[in-house]
Chains A and B, each alone.
Chain A
Amino acid sequence: MTQPANQHQESGAALLHLLDRALTPEALAESTADAAKPSEVRATTLSGLVLFRMGIETLALPAKSLRRATPYAAPTRIPHRSSSLLRGLCNIRGELVLCADLRTLLGLERPETEATEMRRMLVIGPESGSWAFEVDALLGIERIDESGVLTPPITVEQSRGAYVRGIVLIGTEKVSVLDGERVLAGFKAALA
Chain B
Amino acid sequence: MSDSGGFAGISLLELFKLEAESHCAALTSGLLALEKNPGDASTVEPLMRAAHSIKGAARIIGLDVIVSLAHTMEECFLAAKSGKEPLTPPRVDQLLRGVDILGDVRSLAEADLPAWTTAQSGRIEQLVAALKAPPPAAPAATGTPVPIPPPVAPAPGPELSAPVPAAPAPIPGTPKPAEQVPTAPAAAASPAGSETPKEAKHEPAKTTANVRVASDVLNRMLFLAGESSVEAARMRALIELSETVRARERGLETAIETLREHVRVAERARAGEDTARVDLSLQAVMDETGRLHGAIAEHALRFEETSRRVEDLSDNLYREVLRSRMRPFGEGISGFPRMVRDIARELGKSVELRVDGEHVEVDRDILQKLDAPLTHMIRNALDHGVETAAERASTAKPPTATIRLAARHQSGMLVIEVQDDGRGIDAESVRKKVVERKMVDETMAAKLTKAELMEFLFLPGFSTKQAVTQLSGRGVGLDVVMSMVQEVSGTVTLESEFGKGSRFVLKLPVTRSVLRAALVRIGGQLFGVPLARLHRVALITRAEVKPVQGRMQFELDGESVGIVPASELLGFEAPATERETLSVLVIGGKHDELCGLAVDEVLSEEDLVVRPLDPRLGTVAHIASAAIRADGVPLFVIDTDDLLRTVKQLLSDGSMLGVAARKSAGSRHGPKRILVVDDSITVREVERQLLQRRGYHVEVAVDGKEGYNTLRAGSFDLLVTDVDMPRMTGIELIRALRREPKFEHLPVIIVSYKDREEDRMMGLEAGASAYLTKSSFQDDSLLRMVEDLIGAPA
| Cα separation A74 to B629 with both chains bound (whole Å) | 13
A76 lies within 8 A of B525 (CB): yes
B614 and A98 form a contact (CB under 8 A)? yes
Contact A78 B617 (CB under 8 A): yes
Tell me whether B226 and A80 are in contact (CB under 8 A): no
Which chain A residue shows the least CB distance to B228?
A: A94
Distance in angstroms between the alpha carbons of A188 and B617 in the assembled complex: 10
Contacts of A94 in B (CB 8 A): 223-224, 226-228, 230, 628
Which residues of A are found within 8 Å of B230, using beta-carbon distances? 94
Q: Are A77 and B614 closer than 8 Å at their CB atoms?
A: no
A81 touches B620 (CB 8 A): yes
Contact A79 B636 (CB under 8 A): yes
A96, B626: Cβ atoms closer than 8 Å: yes
B224–A80 touching, CB < 8 Å: no
Q: Mark A148-192, 1 if CB is under 8 A from B, else 0.
A: 000000000000000000000000000000000000000010011
Asked if A90 CB lies within 8 Å of chain B CBs, one says yes
For the complex, give the distance between the alpha carbons of A89 and B625 in Å: 12
Query: Is B341 an interface position by the 8 A CB rule?
Result: no
Q: How many angstroms from the CA of A129 to the CA of B614 in the assembled complex?
A: 9
Instruction: Tell me which residues from 38 to 80 in chain A have a Cβ below 8 Å from any Cβ of chain B.
Output: 73-80
Q: Which of B226, B617, B633, B635 contacts A81 (CB 8 A)?
A: B617
| Contact in complex: A96, B634 (CB < 8 Å) | yes
A91-B628, A94-B628 are contacts. A76–B616 as well, Cβ < 8 Å? no
Q: Is A95 an interface residue (CB 8 A)?
A: yes
Task: Kindly state the interface size class of chain A when it binds its partner.
Answer: 20 to 34
Per the bound structure, the CA–CA distance linking A95 and B611 in Å amounts to 10
Q: Decide: A77 near B572, CB < 8 A? Known: A91-B628, A98-B614, A191-B616.
A: yes
Which residues of the partner chain B approach A95 to less than 8 Å between Cβ atoms? 223
B632 on the interface (CB 8 Å rule)?
yes
Cβ distance B713 to chain A, nearest Cβ, rounded Å: 13
8 Å CB interface, B558-591 against A: 570-572
**Closest A residue, CB atoms, query B627:** A96
In the bound complex, CA of A78 to CA of B623 (Å)? 9
Q: Determine the distance from Cα of A74 to Cα of B631 in the docked complex, in whole angstroms.
A: 12
How far does the Cβ of B102 sit from chain A's closest Cβ, in whole Å?
39
Taking CB atoms, residues of chain B closer than 8 Å to A89 are 614, 626, 634
Query: In the complex, which of the residues B571, B623, B628, B739 contacts A192, with contact meaning CB atoms closer than 8 Å?
Result: B739
| Assembly CA distance A79 to B621 (angstroms) | 8
The answer to whether A90 and B227 have CB atoms under 8 Å apart is no
Q: Given A77-B525, A96-B611, is A191 in contact with B633 using a C-beta cutoff of 8 Å?
A: no
**Contact across chains for A76 and B634 when beta carbons are under 8 A apart:** yes
B606 to chain A, nearest CB (A): 16
| Residues of chain A within 8 A of B571, CB atoms compared | 79-80
The reply on B526 being an interface residue by CB < 8 A is: yes
Given contacts A89-B626, A93-B227, contact A191 B617 (CB under 8 A): yes
B622 at the interface (CB under 8 A from A): yes
Question: Of residues A76, A79, A95, which shows the largest number of chain B Cβ atoms within 10 Å of its Cβ?
Answer: A79
Contacts of B633 in A (CB 8 A): 74, 76, 91
Q: Which residue of A lies closest to B527 (CB)?
A: A79
Whether B632 and A76, one on each chain, are in contact in the complex, defined by CB atoms closer than 8 angstroms, is: no
Q: Convert B605-624 into 0s and 1s, putting 1 for each residue whose CB lies closer than 8 angstroms to a CB of A.
A: 00000010010110011110
Residues of A within 8 A of B616 (CB): 98, 129, 188, 191
Per DSSP, are chain B's interface residues mostly helix, strand or loop, or mixed?
A: mixed
Which of A75, A88, A91 lies in contact with B632, CB distance below 8 A?
A: A91
Alpha-carbon distance A75/B628, docked complex (angstroms): 12
In the assembled complex, how far is the CB of residue A11 from the closest CB belonging to chain B, in whole angstroms?
A: 39
Contact at B623–A79, with CB atoms within 8 Å? Answer: yes
Name A68-124 residues within 8 Å CB distance of B.
73-81, 88-91, 93-96, 98
Give the contacting residue for B620; candidates A74, A78, A91, A96; CB below 8 A.
A78
Closest residue of chain A to B569 (Cβ to Cβ) is A79
A80-B622 CB under 8 A given contacts A129-B616, A192-B739: yes
**Are B227 and A76 neighbours in the complex by a CB distance under 8 Å?**
no
Point out the residue from B223, B227, B611, B636 that lies within 8 Å of A78, measured CB to CB: B636
In chain A, what residue has the closest Cβ to B611? A96
A88 contact set on B, CB distance < 8 A:
634
Contact bitstring B635-665, A, C-beta under 8 A = 1, else 0: 1100000000000000000000000000000
> Are A79 and B628 neighbours in the complex by a CB distance under 8 Å?
no
Residues of chain A with a CB closer than 8 A to B739's CB:
192
In angstroms, how far is the closest chain A Cβ from the Cβ of B651?
19
Q: Determine how close the nearest CB of chain B comes to the CB of A68; give it in whole angstroms.
A: 14
On whether A80 and B621 interact (CB within 8 A), knowing A89-B634, A95-B223, A129-B616, the answer reads yes
A92, chain B: closest CB distance, angstroms: 10
Question: Which residues on the B side are within 8 Å of A93 (C-beta)?
Answer: 224, 227
Question: Which residues of chain B are within 8 angstroms of A90 by Cβ–Cβ distance?
Answer: 634
Given known contacts A94-B227, A96-B634, A80 and B525 CB-to-CB distance under 8 angstroms: no
Q: Tell me the residues in window 210-250 of chain B with beta carbons closer than 8 Å to chain A beta carbons.
A: 223-224, 226-228, 230
Among residues of B, the one whose C-beta sits closest to the C-beta of A75 is: B634
In the assembled complex, the CB of B706 is this many whole angstroms from the nearest CB of chain A, namely: 16
Selected contact of A80 from candidates B223, B570, B611, B632, CB within 8 Å: B570
Q: What separation, in Å, do the CA atoms of A188 and B614 have in the docked complex?
A: 13
Which residues from A are CB-within-8-Å of B224?
Answer: 93-94
Q: How far is the CA of A98 from the CA of B618 in the complex (A)?
A: 13
A75 to B620, alpha carbons, bound, how many Å?
Answer: 17
* Bound-complex Cα distance A192 to B227 (A): 31
| Closest beta carbon of chain A to B296's beta carbon, Å | 26
Inside 8 A of B228's CB, which chain A residues have their CB?
Answer: 94
Output the least CB separation between A45 and chain B (Å): 29
Least CB separation from B566: chain A residue: A79
B570 touches A91 (CB 8 A): no
> Are B223 and A79 interface neighbours, CB within 8 A?
no
Q: With contacts A79-B623, A80-B571 known, is A91 near B634, CB below 8 A?
A: yes
The chain A residue with its CB closest to the CB of B522 is: A79
- Chain B residues within 8 Å of A129, by CB: 616
A98-B615 Cα distance, complex, nearest whole Å:
11
Interface residues of B in 432-451 (CB under 8 A from A): none
A98 and chain B: residue at smallest CB distance: B614
B572 adjacent to A79 (CB under 8 Å): yes
What separation, in Å, do the CA atoms of A90 and B227 have in the docked complex? Answer: 13
In whole angstroms, what is the CA distance A96 to B230 when docked?
15
Partner of A79, one of B526, B570, B611: B570
A76 — which chain B residues lie within 8 A by C-beta? 525-526, 633-636
* Inter-chain contacts of A81 with B (CB < 8 A): 617, 620
Q: Could you say which residues of chain B place their CB within 8 Å of the CB of A188?
A: 616
Cα distance A93–B636 when bound, in Å?
A: 18
Q: How far is the CB of B226 from chain A (nearest CB, A)?
A: 6
Query: B632's closest neighbor in chain A, by CB?
Result: A91
A77 to B521, alpha carbons, bound, how many Å?
13
Nearest CB of chain B from residue A79's CB, rounded to whole Å? 4
Residues of B contacting A191 in the complex (Cβ-Cβ under 8 angstroms)? 616-617
Question: With A74-B633, A93-B227, A94-B226 in contact, do A79 and B617 touch (Cβ < 8 Å)?
Answer: no
**What distance in Å separates the Cβ of A90 from its nearest Cβ neighbour in chain B?**
6
Write the chain B residue with the least CB distance to A77. B525
A77 CB to closest chain B CB, in angstroms?
6
Picked from A73, A75, A96, the residue with its CB within 8 Å of the CB of B614 is: A96
* B527 shortest CB reach to chain A, Å: 9
Instruction: Say how far B737's CB is from chain A's closest CB, in angstroms.
Output: 14
B619 to chain A, nearest CB (A): 10
Q: How far is the CA of A17 from the CA of B633 in the complex (A)?
A: 61
Can you list 14 A-B pairs with a CB-CB distance of less than 8 A?
Answer: A76-B634, A77-B572, A78-B617, A79-B572, A79-B621, A81-B617, A88-B634, A89-B634, A91-B633, A91-B634, A94-B223, A94-B224, A96-B628, A129-B616
The 7 A-B pairs with the shortest beta carbon distances in the complex, nearest first, are A94-B227, A79-B570, A94-B223, A76-B634, A80-B571, A89-B634, A91-B634
| Beyond known contacts A80-B571, A191-B617: 12 more, CB 8 A cutoff | A76-B526, A76-B634, A77-B525, A77-B572, A78-B636, A79-B571, A79-B636, A80-B621, A89-B634, A94-B224, A96-B614, A98-B614
Q: Which residues of B contact A (CB under 8 A)?
A: 223-224, 226-228, 230, 525-526, 570-572, 611, 614, 616-617, 620-623, 626, 628, 632-636, 739
